[in-house]
Structure 1
Amino acid sequence: MSIIGPYINAIVIILGALIGGALGGKLPERLRTNLTLVFGLCSMAMGISMIANVAQMPAMILAILLGTIMGEVILLENGINRLATSARGLIEKVLPPKAGISQEEFLRQFVAIMILFSFSGTGIFGAMNEGMTGNPSILIVKSFLDFFSAIIFATTLGYAIATIFIPQTLVQVLLAYGAVLIIPFTTPEMKADFAATGGVLMVATGLRICGIKMFHVANMLPALFLAMPISALWATIFS
């Protein structure tokens, strides 16, 4: 199976960073704010459309509940934060902050953006979904959003934003090709419940982007790995 979504996503991040770096402070603040809200709205719209096709609602809900409990217990989001923060030493050496922003603020924003691009529910679900279905549409839509996000962030942080394609591509490629291996063991119902679970995470991501509710989306990620096993078990017990 040909996997293309992660590479498309990487290319648009690089292009967006180059454009944003060239624009500098020329992008109006009003446009930045409104585009960010639209990003959140698009994420919620995609999530709702996938939730509507759920095959077994109880299985999806159980996966989300158990997955979130697991993520909270192991403090998954904190672990991802520490992993991204560990890259600071390298960043400090090769990526000096743009004029007008302190080194501390540069690193804080850079780490937050790296997590947003590389470890978001949309990216992880999109990569796994492409691996199982061959459909890169989720990652392509994410690429649209990331392109404009990279432009916005690069106007403040400069061309350094382009380097985020490295962890983002690595994570997505590993998940996509890993998902390919489980295709023979899946059913249409399992895939539908997996997609619906991903849809819930995308709604939570949209609410967080819009500043409506700060869900710890990273702590919900284990739900994606539980969705299909629980779906299969539910179908076996209640079929």
Structure 2
Amino acid sequence: MFIGFGTVVNVATVILGAGIGMALGHRLPQRTRDTVTDSLGLVTLLIGALTAMDVTSTALSDRVGSSAPILIVLGSLLIGGIVGSLVDLERRLEDLGAWLRRMLVRRDGGTSAHPEGTDEGPDTGAAHLSARERFIEGFVSASLLFCIGPLTILGSLSDGLGNGADQLVLKAVLDGFAAIAFAASLGIGVMASALVVGVVQGSLTLVGFLLGDFLPEPHLMALTGTGGLMLLGVGMRLLNIRQIPVGNLLPALVVAPILVEIVSRVQG
């Protein structure tokens, strides 16, 4: 598989899912959606565990010592989590999505299909929207859903770093089923959001590719190992075990390579 394969698959599943949703509407039973989500949650746990094993790589232990890698990951999650929770990064990401959605829909002169403060599905009020408003609503809502989240960042970076597209393929399946539900009521605008998915994830994949050329292997192992633990948090969320605020942990991806450099310099 080539770098960027995960984004290509994700774009394809959004288009396919939107097409199915426009054709079938709400005929897919909720129990089927729940079963798919549970299955993906279990596989996410597996991939997260395998990715987290990068912390045991010989390149990392040779650089910082055999006892330091676990402590580096722990320190990364603690420091990154504290920073992320102090600024409430997860909520800010959600607020950013909500703000963009309001601004874009309002600028077009339409109104949101989801009133502020509700948790209703994408079909709430959709029947009362004009064709143009439905397109804008579907495009904006689906774009934000597919692009603002920890799995988007983790999966794209991992793909760019050359660690494979497994994480983005998982996300692609999730997005495909979400696209079915959205497109059933909001139509072709959901399909158009595939363009945003391609641009956002393609850009993040490029960042990962550049990081792979810039960061030494031990630093990358610490970064991916830390990301693997965060994937376990995503899996727990999918399984409704615990709603871990993984977004608040995202700064740990920056902290991990820094700690490797600090420890290696102290020991050197």
**How does the TM-score come out when normalised to structure 2?**
0.74
Partner of 1:9: 10
Larger radius of gyration: 2
The match for 1:87 among 101, 106, 112 is 101
Q: Deviations over 1:64-97 (max 9, x none)?
A: 1111111111121222122211223434657985
The match for 1:200 among 211, 229, 234 is 229
Given that residues 7 and 156 in structure 2 are in contact (C-alpha distance below 8 angstroms), is that contact kept between their aligned partners in structure 1? Answer: yes
Superposition RMSD in Å: 3.3
Q: In structure 2, how many angstroms separate the alpha carbons of the residues matched to 1:222 and 1:69? A: 9
Partner of 2:176: 147
Given that residues 123 and 182 in structure 2 are in contact (C-alpha distance below 8 angstroms), is that contact kept between their aligned partners in structure 1? Answer: no
Partner of 1:191: 220
Q: In structure 2, how many angstroms separate the alpha carbons of the residues matched to 1:34 and 1:60? A: 33
State the 1:157 CA deviation: 5.0
Q: In structure 2, how many angstroms separate the alpha carbons of the residues matched to 1:191 and 1:99? A: 39
The match for 2:80 among 67, 80, 89 is 67
Residue segments in structure 1 that go unaligned for 5+ positions in a row: none
Asked if residue 76 in structure 1 is aligned to residue 89 in structure 2, the reply is yes
Q: In structure 2, how many angstroms separate the alpha carbons of the residues matched to 1:163 and 1:234? A: 47
Partner of 1:161: 190
Q: In structure 1, how many angstroms separate the alpha carbons of the residues matched to 2:38 and 2:161? A: 30
Q: In structure 2, how many angstroms separate the alpha carbons of the residues matched to 1:108 and 1:73? A: 32
Higher mean alpha-carbon deviation, 134-143 vs 213-222, is at: 134-143
Higher mean alpha-carbon deviation, 140-149 vs 56-65, is at: 140-149
Aligned residues: percent identity?
Answer: 27
Residue segments in structure 2 that go unaligned for 5+ positions in a row: 57-68, 114-120, 129-133
Higher mean alpha-carbon deviation, 117-126 vs 66-75, is at: 117-126
Q: Deviations over 1:13-48 (max 9, x none)?
A: 121122123211211121112212222222112111
Q: In structure 2, how many angstroms separate the alpha carbons of the residues matched to 1:170 and 1:121? A: 17
Amino acid at match of 1:235: S
Given that residues 5 and 130 in structure 1 are in contact (C-alpha distance below 8 angstroms), is that contact kept between their aligned partners in structure 2? Answer: yes
Asked if residue 118 in structure 1 is aligned to residue 147 in structure 2, the reply is yes
Partner of 2:64: none
Higher mean alpha-carbon deviation, 40-49 vs 160-169, is at: 160-169
State the 1:129 CA deviation: 1.9
Asked if residue 171 in structure 1 is aligned to residue 200 in structure 2, the reply is yes
State the 1:231 CA deviation: 2.4
